[in-house]
Every structure is written in C-alpha cells, then in structure tokens.
Amino acid sequence: MREGINAPRINFPSITYYPLKAGESNTLFSCFHNTSDETAKNGKLIMSVKDDNGKIIHTATYTGDITGAMMATKSDFVPKEDNNNFWILAELYSDDKLIDSIEVNYSCETLDPNGCQKESSVLINPVTNLVDWLSKNGIMIVGGIILLVIILVGLLISKKKKYE
C-alpha cells in the first residue's frame, strides 16, 4: 500500500488461452485495485481485444466502486477467427477521468517464434506439411485409389474377354 496515494490502477489484463482460436471459448480478464484503503467511487474498467488492424474482437466493461483489495473482472468470448497477433487494451476511469491504461501486445514473434514460423510458412517443413495434408485428405485419397483400381480391373477383365 502506498500512503497518501488514492489512485486505482490496473494489474495484469490478459486472456486465458493463446493464441485465439476461431470457435473456441476464451476469457478476457484483468485485476485492478485502489492503491489505498479508501474506495474510489464511480470506477470503470474498459477492456478490449483488438487485432493488428485495430478491429475490435471483444470488449468488456466493469462499472462500480474500486476498493483497496485486489479486484478482478472477466468476460467470456468466442473469437470468429484464429489470431496469433492482437492487442489487449485496458483503460481505468474514476469519475469519467482516465487514470490508468495499458496496452499488451500478443505477438507470435514474441511469444512463440517457432510456432509462428510453422503457421506462417508452408515451406518450413515440407514432410510435416505433406503428412498434415494427407491426414486431412486421406479418406478422399484412399477412395480415389480404390475407384481407380476398380476401373483398371474392369478394363483388364473386359479386354481379356474380348480376346477369348
């Protein structure tokens, strides 16, 4: 606690899962508190998740008093698109006056450079890419091969009967 300073502050705005996956539930959250034993009246915390172009993916707002005890708010959301690079912006107001803000960049280059490279480049590991493609398209390939074998066997049988 800091004596004589009565100013709420933001502490650790974040999400529960990185990266953002389309259709998978995630939670935006932040802790915040007043830096003295007093209660700050008319507080408001606005949290936003934005993509690299500034498009808002999700926004959540807490409105109410802010005490000296550590407080937290959360908001569940389901992203519509996968996203490895985005920003979390948190802004804390007291009596409609901005008193604290923070922007946190979630970037695959910073958080998971190897994972970022795998997703951003098709040529990083051609064998892995081929195996992934085959696992996704295997049923169609096997079906196509079976159909081709049936056609070839049919042609061979019809030619054999023609020469008999």
- The SS3 call for residue 12 is strand
pTM of the model: 0.66
Q: Determine the Cα–Cα distance for residues 141 and 138; give it in Å rounded to an integer.
A: 5
- CATH fold of the domain at 9-117: Immunoglobulin-like (2.60.40)
* 10-21 tens-digit pLDDT: 988 999 998 999
Model pLDDT, residue 141: 73
Under a CB-based contact definition with an 8 Å cutoff, are residues 6 and 35 in contact?
Answer: yes
Q: Which residues contact 122 (CB under 8 A, 6 or more apart)?
A: 129
List the chain domain ranges.
Answer: 9-117, 122-163
Higher pLDDT, 45 or 109: 45
How far does the chain reach from its first CA to its final CA, in angstroms? 100
Q: Is it the case that residue 63 has pLDDT exceeding 50?
A: yes
* 110-142 tens-digit pLDDT: 777 776 655 444 444 555 555 566 666 666 677
Q: Mean pLDDT of all residues in the chain?
A: 82
